[in-house]
Structure formats: C-alpha cells, structure tokens
Structure 1
Amino acid sequence: MIETVFQTDSVPKEDRFDMWQELVSRTHAPLMLESTHKTDFRAVQRILTFGEVTIWPTTFKPVHFVRTPRLIRASDPETVHLSLPLKGALRGVHGDLDLASGPDAFFLLDSSRPLRVLSGDGDLAHTGIGMEIPKAVLPLTRGKMDALMARQLPASSGFGALLAQFLRRTSRDAACYQSSDAHRLSTLAVDLVSALFAHTLEDHRSLTPEAHRRTLLLRVRSFILQHLHNPALTPPMIAAAHHVSVSHLHRLFQEEEDTVAAFIRRQRLERVRLDLADSTSSSRSLQQIAARWGFDYYVSFTRAFRSCYGLTPHDYRHINQSLTP
C-alpha cells in the first residue's frame, strides 16, 4: 500500500485552496471547486493506493464541487466514486436526480457524468472517506449505473455495513499493511462494492462464484465477531443465520488459516487477552472475563489460553498490569 498525506497548514494560506483543488482533481477527476472559505481554507487528506483502488480519508471546509461535460471530454478516468460521510452531509445533483447522503448511506458518483456536489453544513467541516474504483473491474452497465444512482446505498446494514467497516479499518490500520497486501485489499474492496451493487439491484447473478464465496466469508466473519459473547455460537448456528448448510460453512474455511471453531476460539482468546491487559478491567474476575467472551467452561478456557499465549490467564494479567504506569 502507498500512502501520501496532504495538509493545507503546510502551505502558504494563499495557495491552500488551489493546491487542494488540484489534489482532489488528481485523486478523483478534474473538477471546479467553489467555497466561501477560500481565504482561510483548511483540509487534510490521506491517499491510500492499493492496486487499482484508492481510498482517501479527508476533512475539509465546506466546498461546492462541479464536473462539467467539458471537463469530462477533456479527461475521464472512468471510475466509480463512493463517499462515506462521517460528519456532515453530501448533497448531489445528477441531471434530474437530487440526492443527499449522511453517515448512514454512501454517496455514489460516476466520473463520466456531469455533477454538482455540496459538502458540509454552514461553516462546519466535512469529514468522510472516499473510494475510487475503475468501472472496468465492476459488473456494471450504463443501465445498472442509472438504477444505482437513483437508489439509496445503506452503510449501516448488510453489505453496506461491511464496506463501511472495511473503509474505516483500512484507513485506521494503513500502517499495518505491507505492499504484498495490496492485491488482497484491492480484491476485498471490489468484492464488497460488487456485492453491495448486486444486492441493491437484486442482481446476484452478476457476481462470480469466487466473489460470492469471498463476500459470504466476510459476512460470516463479521457475524462471528459480533456474537463472540454468546456461548451458543457454533457452526450450526452460524450456518442457519446465513442460510447455508454446515458442510458448506466448513468448505468456506477450507482455504483459510483456521477452521470455523478455531477462528471462534482464537478471536475469543484475543478479546480475553486484551481485557486482561487492560487495567480498567481489574475489578472483574478471570471467570467473569472468560464468560464475557463466551467461554462457559473455565478449565477449558485456562488450558486454551495457556496453549495460545504460554502463560496462565492469572500470570498474564499480573505481568501486564504490573507494567501499567
């Protein structure tokens, strides 16, 4: 992954707006920008590039973006842009469509179409995460793009929630990734966007079998992480929640590092380990912490913890909390 960072505070005040307009035009597509905050414009933008996909977390003063037919004729990267607003709404006009998105919905743009976008609210800065994906890698036709732009793309449920989580975590954990991870991250991004589009259009046939498998695996992993506290979290329960057979669930994990049961156990042990190292959890007993993360047999839990980390839970807590200032 390649990361670059731009902050307006690092350039002279009179150059800030023009430099940021140039950066946004390179990141997305050539645009004209207007703002009542030109004279004291402030923005921060990180650009994370992996493979053909670009993610850009950003915060900026309210801006009016315009992409005209003339700018499109001059330069069109033929990309799909998705924005996840985190603070402040986005309102866009595409032909006869007038759409608004807040933190619960994605904002969709097509670089090949004229647009007007208003960001921010009054004098309050807008914060969000943008993503650029080439249309060539997505199962899209012009008719499908027309239908998608006329619909709301939720970011709080289903594939939208998975995509929003991916954008937040990738932005937050960028330093943890290596260049060798670029292809995997790019594949995940394309799969999640493709699945969100297919679900919105009720067109699941447009997804390849491998994309189906990867997105189902992502949904299953997310479900497991949300239900680690439940002692009844078992392969049959997980399979039933996703309307697949238990054997199909096990096949999903055949190419993964862990089996289903091993993945659950490893994630539970990691949550316990974090609690044991946290001084704010010192009032909880070891049994309470184990039960909090779905371990209903304490002896089995202690054996698994020692096998994984080389220390008993009691010793791990004592060593780590004694190091806390």
Structure 2
Amino acid sequence: MLEEMVFRTDALPAADRFDYWVELLGRTHAPMDLRSDYTDDFRASQRVLDLGGVTVWSATYQPLAFRRTPKLIRQSDPEAYHLSLVVQGTGTGEWSNRETAYKPHDLFVTSTSLPNDIRSSTGGPVTILALETPKALLPLPRSVAPRLVGAPVSGQEGMGALLARFLTQLTADTSAYQPSDGPRLGTVLNDLVAALFAHLLEAGDCLPPETHRRTLILRIQAFIREHLHDPSLTPATIAAAHHISTSYLHRLFRDEDATVAAWIRRLRLKAARRDLTDPALHALPVHAIATRWGFPRATDFSRAYRAAYGTTPKDHRQQALNGRK
C-alpha cells in the first residue's frame, strides 16, 4: 500500500478545529487566508499521498473561502502548480485575469505564485481530489502561468478526463500499490499534467513562438516516456508522430541538456536501474528488464549501463540486494 497521511478535525476539540485546518493546509499546500461560517465547529478531513515530487490529496470540508494574497506569496512560495478536481460542491475562483465558476467534474488550475480567491458557494460539504507538482518538473516560462490559472477544464472529456480518471482511480484504493510505486505514479501524473497544460496553451490564440516550442517539447517528452519500452523509438519515429521533421526535432532539443537519442537512453537506463534495485523484481532476469525498457540486445544494455553507472547491471543489482540484508 502507498504511504499516506490522514488528518481529521473531529479528533480535536471543536474550538481548535478551524485553526488546525488553516495550519494544516499551510503545510500541505501553501499558507492561505481561510474564512468560513463554520469556524465554531469546523468539520474537515484530508488524505495525503507523497508520490516523490508530486503530492496527491483528497479532502472533504465545510464551505470555505481560500485567499492567497501577495503578502502570503512573499512570505512563502513552494512554487508549485495545483490542480483540483471537484467531486462535490460548487463555487467560484477569481484570479487577476479571470473569474471561473466550478461544479462537480470540473478541473481548475492554480499557482502558488499568483494571488487567487476561491469561494465555496454551496451549503453542503465540498469534496475535491487534488495534486500538486513543482514548477521545476514542468519547465514552462513564468509568463504562461496566467494563461493556465483558472482556465475552465472539463473532467469528463479530452485531456481533462484522462487526468480526472487517473486521480479518481488512484485515490479510490491504494492497497494494490507498493511504496516503491509512488515515484512511478508521480511521473505518470506529471506527464498527464504536462500534456494537459500543452493542450490548454495550444488552444489559446496568438501564443508566442517560445510558448509553442516549450509545449511541443513537453508533449514530445511525455510521448518518449510513454513509449520507452518500444525498441523502435527513434528520433525519426518521434518526429513522424508529431508531424515535424527530424532536423526540427533535433533543433528543439538543442537547448535541452541532452540530444534526443541521449535523452531516450538516459530515461531507459534510469527506469532499468530502478527495476534492478526493486526487491519485488529480484526474480526477473536482467535481460528481461533490459528488453522491458527498449534494449533488445543484452550486450548493448550492459555496455550502456556500465558507461552510465560504472558497473554492470548484474553487479549493481547484487550490491543493492546485499545492502538490504
């Protein structure tokens, strides 16, 4: 089962519950100015899953107003994007450039670096599923954040539905996952967020060329991660899948930290290294792991692995297993 933390206000005296909730959200999200008509006996609960760099949580609470002010941002900014899927309840969100109403099955995006004012407008409890991902994992120019926050996204169709279904299934039952699955699930979620952001940015009018370029790179990187297992994944097949020339693909990666081929190889080796050191996969032969991550020839895999990590896959696995004894 994935490791998770559960918080409930009903474990505290009624007079302390609201202040506890304010402090809790300040730690699990970002400091906010919270207001509610139910402060005398505030009822709320939250489950938090740590998936490596990405955090997922579900929460049910009585109607609230959340305000992230410029002063609070100056005091503390975790520099993250936050996406909320509304399960129950209605409300509105206000940002500097838009105001958006939300209802069940809607997704909305906020940034910890930008002011917002989000208010519940329902008399009953509100339930949301949410995820936060560091901006460092989504290297978009700061100028695009105002285009994303508050943008209305349906959780019932298109890219929004893919993300909503994954969040819903993940939080419904974590018993099928092991703690070591957490970072893998976080990577999948981050790729889905990147794809959703790319979709939202490309849907806008007259986007700057640099924004188009950045979102295309994000889509390509997500495509590569999804197809790492395919030994036929090459710059040519990637370019064809995105309707661009191979030379343009190489130009896109010119400012990245590796060429296209080197980026593919690095991700494959990283995935193989993770599997080799996973106790749950100790019985899976090295050559099967190599094939699983796009290395059909064992000699090619061993040579690339030694060049990257200074040891053979077999020796690295043995060292990892001995270290756990």
Q: TM-score range by the shorter chain?
A: 0.5 to 0.7
Match of 1:10 in 2: 11
Cα 1:61–1:216 change in 2 (3 A) is: farther
SS of structure 2 residue aligned to 1:207: helix
Deviation at 1:14, TM superposition (A): 0.7
Deviation at 1:102, TM superposition (A): 1.8
Match of 1:251 in 2: none
Deviation at 1:37, TM superposition (A): 0.5
**Distance between the aligned counterparts of 1:96 and 1:147, measured in 2?**
9
Given residue 72 of structure 1, which amino acid in structure 2 is its aligned partner?
I
Deviation at 1:67, TM superposition (A): 1.3
Contact 2:63/2:126, CA 8 A, preserved across alignment:
yes
CA deviations on 1:226-280 (whole Å, 9 max, x unpaired) are xxxxxxxxxxxxxxxxx99xxxxxxxxx848xxxxxxxxxxxxxxxxxxxxxxxx
SS of structure 1 residue aligned to 2:109: strand
Match of 1:103 in 2: 104
Q: Say if 2:172 is the partner of 1:161.
A: no
Contact 1:90/1:107, CA 8 A, preserved across alignment:
no
Contact 2:108/2:150, CA 8 A, preserved across alignment:
no
SS of structure 1 residue aligned to 2:72: helix
Given residue 222 of structure 2, which amino acid in structure 1 is its aligned partner?
A
Deviation at 1:209, TM superposition (A): 3.3
1:206 is matched with which residue: 207, 217, 220? 217
Structure 2 matches for 1:197-276, cutoff 5 A?
A: 197-202=197-202, 203=212, 204-207=215-218, 209-214=220-225, 255=292
SS of structure 2 residue aligned to 1:176: coil
Cα 1:216–1:159 change in 2 (3 A) is: farther
Given residue 164 of structure 2, which amino acid in structure 1 is its aligned partner?
A
Segments ≥4 residues shifted beyond 6 Å: none
Deviation at 1:104, TM superposition (A): 3.1
Match of 1:247 in 2: none
Given residue 205 of structure 1, which amino acid in structure 2 is its aligned partner?
L
Count of residues paired in the alignment: 222
Match of 1:61 in 2: 62
Greater CA drift, 177-186 or 93-102: 93-102
CA deviations on 1:19-53 (whole Å, 9 max, x unpaired) are 01111111110011110001121011111111011
Structure 2 matches for 1:304-323, cutoff 5 A?
A: none
Match of 1:151 in 2: 151
Deviation at 1:139, TM superposition (A): 3.6
CA deviations on 1:284-308 (whole Å, 9 max, x unpaired) are xxxxxxxxxxxxxxxxxxxxxxxxx
Match of 1:20 in 2: 21
Query: What is the RMSD computed on CA atoms of the aligned residues?
Result: 2.2
Q: TM-score, normalised by structure 2?
A: 0.64
SS of structure 2 residue aligned to 1:14: helix
**Distance between the aligned counterparts of 1:98 and 1:15, measured in 2?**
33
Q: TM-score, normalised by structure 1?
A: 0.64
CA deviations on 1:101-144 (whole Å, 9 max, x unpaired) are 2223211111011111102502x010111111101101422222
Deviation at 1:178, TM superposition (A): 1.4
Given residue 206 of structure 1, which amino acid in structure 2 is its aligned partner?
I
Name which one, 1 or 2, has greater alpha-carbon Rg. Answer: 1
Deviation at 1:215, TM superposition (A): 5.4
Q: Percent identity?
A: 44
SS of structure 1 residue aligned to 2:31: coil
Cα 1:127–1:29 change in 2 (3 A) is: same
